[in-house]
Structure 1
Amino acid sequence: MKFQGAAVALVAALMVGLSGLDSHSAHSQDDSAFAPLLGWWKGQGRLGFQEGQTENVTCRATYVLGDVPTKLEQNIRCATSSGKVEIVSHVTNDDGELSGTWTERIYNLVGDLSGAITERGYRVSVTGGDVGAEMEIIVKDGMQVIEIKFSGNTLRGLTLVLKKG
């Protein structure tokens, strides 16, 4: 539980640091709103289950632009002492509105995502027949915080703190 408190504090600090940025200045490089995400990231976090148990995770994430700067592929792979989690998203940006598909391959969760680019980063909702989730990604100074809250399945939440590179 100490890690969870530290992760919440880090998320809050990053949110305060980003609150003065508008979405245009935060995402203007490389002609893509996804530019702050691009590349390879690694770090650690916590994975929570509906039954109440939590596990430490070690993760890596990659973000690659599609054939145009408005399309992004996100891959997050995490390992725990008892298993793994693997999330793949295909996202399209239409003037700040996000849409696409979201899949967790180990637990076989599939859904459609929708959301927006915010002053803090990226916020999406995932809905589908077998998954409901809220996901927020905050990026600042070579660090990334990912918070996913699941509803209606085995997973309860995933909190990650990643560093570029």
Structure 2
Amino acid sequence: MNRIFLISYALLAIWLTPSVPANAQEDSPFKALPGRWVGDGRVGFKEGKTETVKCRATYFLSDGGQGLRQTIRCASASGKIEVKSQVANKDGKLTGTWNEMIYNLGGELAGEVTPRGFRISVKGSDLAANMDVIVMKDRQMVEIQFFNSSLRGLTLLLQKG
């Protein structure tokens, strides 16, 4: 199984929704994510080619800390990748939408909160993918495995700024 590794160190601005009370954010499984994250990584393509990418991620809380908007933007020598997700948490179960804007891939996401982050599966008419997000203090690892596209995988190591 091919694994792609990305290391990320760039920063993005994040603004918290003013209507979210601080105590609701503390109970949120997303509480460590809001803000700017940057770094480098690797993207893999179906034909076996891999490239280094520079990435940045931005997270915004919503719905009293139980909702999350995610944007990940990466650039390599040959192109870009841009992922946008809307995620809702209910009792540790995750639902929402996931879209890769450059390759026009998208679908519904389902997953769960784990002790170290989040495990997500994405399914759409043009996409099957798994995404793991591991968060440790001011560092984050994002790994996406694609199963039926020209993309094979994307692995990022991000640092919060």
1:36 aligns with 2:32: yes
2:111 to 108, 115, 134: 115
2:54 to 58, 74, 80: 58
RMSD: 1.9
Q: How far is 1:29 from its partner?
A: 5.8
5+ long unaligned stretches in structure 1 = 11-27
CA displacement 1:67-101 (0-9 Å, x = unmatched): 43111000000000011000000000001000000
**Counterpart Cα distance in 2 of 1:69 and 1:146:** 21
Query: What does residue 49 of structure 1 align with?
Result: 45
5+ long unaligned stretches in structure 2 = 8-23
1:157 to 150, 153, 156: 153
Q: How far is 1:128 from its partner?
A: 0.5
Q: How far is 1:66 from its partner?
A: 1.7
Runs of 4+ with deviation above 2 angstroms: 28-31
Read off the aligned partner of 1:76 and give its amino acid letter. I
Read off the aligned partner of 2:118 and give its amino acid letter. Y
Query: What does residue 88 of structure 1 align with?
Result: 84
Query: What does residue 145 of structure 1 align with?
Result: 141
* TM-score (ref. length: structure 2): 0.84
Query: What does residue 19 of structure 1 align with?
Result: none
Q: Relative CO higher for 1 or 2, CA cutoff 8 Å, sep ≥ 6?
A: 2
Work out whether residues 106 and 124 of structure 2, in 8 Å CA contact, stay in contact via their aligned partners in 1.
yes
The size of the alignment, in residue pairs, is 143
**Counterpart Cα distance in 2 of 1:100 and 1:38:** 18
**Counterpart Cα distance in 1 of 2:55 and 2:97:** 21
When you count strand as a share of all residues, which structure comes out higher? Answer: 2
Q: Secondary structure at the match of 2:64?
A: coil
Identity of aligned residues (%): 53
**Counterpart Cα distance in 1 of 2:43 and 2:32:** 25
Query: What does residue 13 of structure 1 align with?
Result: none
* TM-score (ref. length: structure 1): 0.82
CA displacement 1:104-126 (0-9 Å, x = unmatched): 00000010000000012101000
**Counterpart Cα distance in 2 of 1:118 and 1:63:** 18
